[in-house]
Chains A and B, each alone.
Chain A
Amino acid sequence: GAGVSQTPSNKVTEKGKYVELRCDPISGHTALYWYRQSLGQGPEFLIYFQGTGAADDSGLPNDRFFAVRPEGSVSTLKIQRTERGDSAVYLCASSLIASGGQETQYFGPGTRLLVL
């Protein structure tokens, strides 16, 4: 079946602008994660949704970052007043927690954000 998809694949914006990044998880997956990957680093956790609610938003760097998942499926990561330091690849992952608590997170291709 279709994997996690993310749009756009690339986004170039100017400092101070607002951007929205979209994630379509695998159908039926209740958990959805956002990570950010800066050059030369591993992915860093931003926020985790279980259904419609944000179960853990401890990774959001500041109040310019916000994410929603209103119907428990598609999620949008919103960044206000973008700064050059926000430039990174934004990854989305979804999962279905199996019996016994095992979970596999399936990653999307990422959105590469460049803030000029």
Chain B
Amino acid sequence: AQRVTQPEKLLSVFKGAPVELKCNYSYSGSPELFWYVQYSRQRLQLLLRHISRESIKGFTADLNKGETSFHLKKPFAQEEDSAMYYCALRDMEYGNKLVFGAGTILRVKS
């Protein structure tokens, strides 16, 4: 079965420190991976997708098929990065539903 695992419920870092939010997945086919973010009192929104291979708000994520991982990284955390982050996998074998991890709260302290 498709599964997305985010091992950390909470990650707390100081402003300016590097950030790495971990995501591992299990999927039988070729996955499409995403990171979604939910800021306080806002709706869930797409941060980035692996296909685009772009940097959004200083965040990047590389799909590692060998390790089945899609970790989210940023070299220097900012206070406005504090939010809930969800890793998600698009299940292209059975419609287009997203399979989400449980989420990681990122707290950036000043």
Chain A interfacial positions (CB closer than 8 Å to B):
3-4, 31, 33, 35, 40-45, 48, 55-56, 58-59, 91, 95, 97, 102-110
Contact = CB atoms under 8 A, between A and B. Distances in A.
Q: How large is the interface on B (under 10, 10 to 19, 20 to 34, 35 or more residues)?
A: 20 to 34
A88 to B, nearest CB: 14
B95 A107 contact: no
Count chain B CB atoms within 10 A of each CB in A44, A45, A91, A106 and give the residue with the most.
Answer: A45
Contacts of A40: 9, 102
Contacts of A48: 95-97
Interface string B74-110: 0000000000001010100011111111110000000
A107 B44 contact: yes
B45 interface: yes
Secondary structure class of chain A's binding surface, majority of residues? loop
Contacts, number: 54
A45 B43 contact: no
Interface string B26-52: 000000000000000001111001010
Q: Which 6 pairs across A and B sit closest by C-beta, in order of nearness?
A: A42-B100, A56-B95, A45-B97, A107-B44, A48-B95, A109-B43
Interface string B6-17: 000100000000
A55 B46 contact: no
